[in-house]
Structure 1
Amino acid sequence: MKTKHTDTRTSLELALKRLQADVPLTVPKGGKISIAAVAREAGVSHATIHNRYPDIAEQIRGIVKQTTSASPALQKNQHDIAATLSRLRQENARLKSDLARSQSLNYRLLKENEALRASVKAS
């Protein structure tokens, strides 16, 4: 005989599998796996997982820990990307400043050229 307890357990297990496969039904795709996310996906409160299904809570924590333990390489990659982005932003600002100076100089030279042509025509 199926009880509400086994139905909830099944819902939680299926929700966790869907999140791991990145095919959730209710939470946004690509989200982090967490107890709260599994609870939302299963349609229960996160307290239900903590209080009634500590084994599932521990399983979720294990998955989260595995995900974050592979993280040092990812963190280094993110740090490298952030450093490159910062450097490129500085270069972009410098280039914009150089462009503005060049445009100003070009405009001044254009006006001087017009004045010289006008004086040559007048003489």
Structure 2
Amino acid sequence: MRDADFSEDATPDLTLTLRLGETPVAAAVGDSVLVALRRAATGIRCICGGRCACGTCRVRIAEAWQACLPPPARNEARLLAALPGTTGAHRLACQITLDTTLDGLAIEIDSPPTRSTKTSSLETTE
């Protein structure tokens, strides 16, 4: 998996198509979904750089495609379980490696909600 390769000049050996809503996204075999989405400038976030450490690259997999993916590894499953609003349809884009069986994979970018920035009761006001 080429997590750090977000360059737009990378030429795919074999082009796959991800479906982001109605928009096709070109991807190469061996790329992660995250790499393909970043290369296509979709605006997907990935604070940790694709290392399965932050959860900001959460995507929702279309129901018809969910059984086509292997189950999440332990680290991904733990991180997903800790994110609010996660369902069985969610995966981390950095953890899905594309191959020819995933040509046409339909996803939605579904980053988890960010933490609230409420003022702490310990802070003093002037």
* TM category, shorter: under 0.3
Structure with higher helix content: 1
Q: Larger relative contact order (C-alpha < 8 A, sep ≥ 6)?
A: 2
TM-score (norm. length: structure 1):
0.21
Q: Please say which structure displays the higher CA radius of gyration.
A: 1
Structure with higher strand content: 2
TM-score (norm. length: structure 2):
0.20
